[in-house]
Each structure stands twice: as structure tokens, then as C-alpha cells.
Amino acid sequence: MDNISIPIDRYEIHKSLVREDIITHPVVRECSTKRIQIEDDFSQNRPYLKRIKRCGYVNECPICSYIQDRKLFARVQPHVNLLKENGGDIHLLTFTLRHNKFHSHRELKELLHKSVQNIKTTYPFKKFYGVKDRLFSLHQYEDCWNPDTGFHPHAHIHIGTTTKTSKEEIESMMKPEWVKVVSKFTSNQSMIPSLENGADIQIGKDDPFYIEQKSLEKKTEDFFRKSNEMFHEYMEHRKKHKSIPTDILEMSLVQFHSSAATGKTPLEPTWFQRMISALKTIYRNCINRYRVHLRVNKKHPIYPQLQNIQQSQ
């Protein structure tokens, strides 16, 4: 049995992905569907004899990826406590692109990744979040989707810092710098963000769990709600029309994704295409976009205190 509480929507997402054969690995398909006995349960005389069997494939399973992220956030808690004791604060930096439903998803993702990597090398970023101020950072890429606006890739950098610089001063330099950085990697004005909406900085976060608890759960809930509605619509259509030729569905999907990849204006997607797109987006979010990367700055003046705490534990 796990000591991590997993939201029910994670199980529902897993079922949907298995149902539509988006998850194909046999072990991942069976994740959390069986219970097993292990020797450790008997040796410690625990009140339960069976625990849920997890697949452990964190790069393929939305359930196991959630468990891994929760363990990572637990590791960050000592960093947060130390930061607060030394008068530090947590900043949430969000970087986004201008987008519409005709943009290529791959092109948006590549542009976002290049821009985020570059913004971290710029003078404003180093000035406010350099080695003398930044104790740790959590990097996370997210990817929203809906039928009206298409894909919306964006990135979060959650920084634990001891800087005393005001939000207004940071924004005055970071916002125009983000627009400048994105413009270096594309000449497509429809992807270059505006000065007001491209970068967002929030200061005074209580803890680094905000992204996972608020943003992740809300977005996966929205994704599942939309895809579930599409699935019921699909089943109602199946009942009325008895069956749909598989070759027609496959050809329709190929045409739809091909037009999206080439950047050409696609035809209005059908309910079936929207359902599959939503499910695949959920899958990518759970196993890739929501992977959180922790980076600790060992050159920060208070880092030795963190080492002492870890050694004592």
C-alpha cells in the first residue's frame, strides 16, 4: 500500500488511456489493477497483507509519475524550511508564447524550450537569480490544449531565493527580455508573446507545491472532463450508426495530424479526432510535461546548513 494519496482522476485518466490503446505496454496497462503480498509486510507485522501493485514506469504511467513527483516535493521541504529561516522567499516565473490552433505543436514546444534555456543565460536572470541568491529551482514544462485555441505550451521556474528585489523591478527587466529572447528564435509574429502576457512573476509563494497541487490537478481535471464528454459523444454516435469503418477513422486522423504538423489550415476536427487529441495530450502531460526537475545551488551561502541538516537526518 502507498503512503501517498493519489487523486481519483489519475486512475480515471489511466483507464481512459488504456481503453483507447494509447498506453500499450502490458505492465503499464495493468498498473494499480492488482494487489500483491510482499515479505516486508509479514516481517513488520503490518495490519494489511496486500498492497497495490504499481508498474514503476514513471515515463509511461500517469499514476507512477504522480508518485515520483510527490516524493520529489517531499525532498524539497528541508530546502524550503531553511530558506524561510534565513529570510528567503519563493518566486514563481511563468513563461508563455502567443499561440493559436493552427500553430504546429512541435514548433511551439521547440521554440519554448530554446527560449527558456536562453533566458537563464541573460543578464536580468543572472542579476536577480544568480548563485548568490538562488538556493534551489524547480523546472517544469506544461502543455494545455482545447479545441478552440489549440496547444498552449508554457514553462514554470519555481525559485527559492534570498533576494530582496521587488516584483516591480524584476518584471521591468524580465518581461521585455523574454520578448527579446523569443524573437531571437522566430520571426513569426503570431508566436512572439506580448510584453504584458509573455512572462509572469509571482512572489511570496508559501511553498513549491503550488504548481503540482493547484495547476496540475486543475488542468488534468479539465482535460479528463473534456475527453470524457467526447467519449460519451463518441459512444452515442456508435449506438446510432452501429459502427464506423476503421480505415475511414484512421485516414481522417492521419490527415488531421499531417495538416497540423505542416502548419496548413486543417479541416474542422470531428468529435472523434478531438477525443483522441485530448487523450494523447493528457498522456503527454502526465509523463512528460509534468516532469519536475530539481536543481540545487551548492554555491549559495546557506547551502552548508542544508548539508548539516541532511547529515543529521
What pLDDT digit, counting tens, does each position of 261-279 carry?
A: 444 444 555 656 666 666 6
Other Cβ atoms less than 10 A from the Cβ of 82: the count is 20
Tell me if the pTM is above 0.85.
no
Q: Can you list the residues of the chain whose pLDDT is less than 50?
A: 1, 211-217, 242-266, 289-290
Mention every residue, 6+ apart, whose C-beta is less than 8 A from residue 70: 4, 212
- pLDDT score recorded for residue 15: 85
Per-residue model confidence (pLDDT) at position 226: 56
Which pLDDT belongs to residue 7?
81
Burial class (CB in 10 A: 0-12, 13-18, 19+), 71: exposed
Other CB atoms within 10 Å distance of the CB of residue 257 = 17
Task: Collect all residues with Cβ–Cβ distance below 8 Å to 240 and sequence separation of at least 6.
Answer: none
Residue type at position 78: P
Among candidate residues 263, 251, 232, the one with its CA nearest the CA of residue 150:
263
Helix axes 8-19, 271-284, angle to 10 degrees: 120
Cα–Cα distance measured from residue 220 to residue 33, given in angstroms and rounded to the nearest whole number: 21
pLDDT at position 167: 93
Torsion of CA 132, 133, 136, 141, to 10 degrees: -120
10 Å CB burial of residue 14 (0-12, 13-18, 19+) is buried
Number of neighbours of residue 42 by Cβ within 10 angstroms: 10
- Return the residue matching grid coordinates 527580455: 177
Query: How far apart, in whole angstroms, are the C-alpha atoms of residue 127 and residue 130?
Result: 6
d(CA 269, CA 275): 10
User: What is the set of domains in the chain, with CATH numbers?
Assistant: 8-216+287-312 (3.40.1310), 217-286 (no CATH)
